Amino acid sequence: MPQDNQLNVAVLQQFINQVKAADLGRQKEIRLDINTAKNLSYTLGLAMTRLAGNYEDLLSQQKSTESVVSVEMDGGSWDKN
């Protein structure tokens, strides 16, 4: 699966740091301007889409490499030597 769009992890890291700082400061809310919110939304959407695509690729590869194992039982013999 080609990955033309680079994932902007800086937006995610900024958001995580903002939430962490708000939690440490015991704030009850955080605010995002619309541009930050759009960037965060786009980055999360891209990450989830890419993750789903990678998961589908992995499942299809696993299905194509499954092998069949055959077991034959003949009952053996109980001869005493």
How does pLDDT run along the chain (81 residues), one tens digit per residue?
455 667 888 999 999 999 999 999 999 999 999 999 999 999 999 999 888 888 777 777 776 666 677 888 777 777 776
Q: Where are the domains of the chain?
A: 9-63
The model's pTM: 0.60
How far is C-alpha 4 from the chain's CA centre?
A: 18
Residue 14 burial by CB count (10 A; 0-12/13-18/19+): exposed, middle or buried? middle
